[in-house]
Amino acid sequence: MRAKLIFRTPQTIDDESFVISHLDKFKDIVITPFLSHYKMSESLVERYSDILLQGSTLYNYETPVPVGGTTGGIIPVPSEVLAYWAFDLLVDSVSRSGETNGLFATLTLSTLLRRCEDVLRRYVDDVRLRGLVPLPR
């Protein structure tokens, strides 16, 4: 199957800009100061980083992916810009270890590494099934 295309209209672009500008404000006021506080619970930080992990996904598969890969089609997420924003925030959370609680950076690092592992694992599986393919985004 071919990937379903999602066309970005001017309205969609405006909506994404609106959402991201408000999320940036929320990040500066709430996320950065409070989640990186040294008294923050580990479970809350892990849930936060898992949400960013899910939000940073650029596409989903039409069917569940078995071990070893799939030749099934993919479905792109409706808001690619928001997915990039979530990934950037995940990376930023890891890189703030010198400024904030080291435990916060450590917990988000494990999630970032899972994200990278997933991309590389899917790539290796795709190469085995399809031959030479480009590295996914």
pLDDT of residue 40: 74
Q: What is the pLDDT of residues 32-72, one digit of tens each?
A: 777 666 677 888 888 988 998 998 888 777 666 666 666 67
CA separation for the pair 55, 63 (Å, rounded): 19
| Domains of the chain, residue spans | 10-129
pLDDT of residue 4: 44
pLDDT of residue 113: 93
Q: Which two tokens stand for residue 88?
A: 């950037």
The CB-based long-range contact list for 36-44 (8 Å cut-off, 24+ gap) reads: 36/93, 36/96, 36/99, 36/100, 36/101, 36/104, 37/100, 37/101, 38/101, 38/103, 40/101, 40/104, 42/103, 42/107
Kindly report the average pLDDT of the chain as a whole number: 77
Residue ranges of the chain with per-residue pLDDT less than 70? 1-13, 35-38, 62-71, 96-101, 136-137
pTM: 0.76
pLDDT of residue 8: 58
pLDDT of residue 12: 66
Q: Which of 44, 45, 42, 57 is nearest to 115 (CA)?
A: 57
CA separation for the pair 14, 93 (Å, rounded): 27
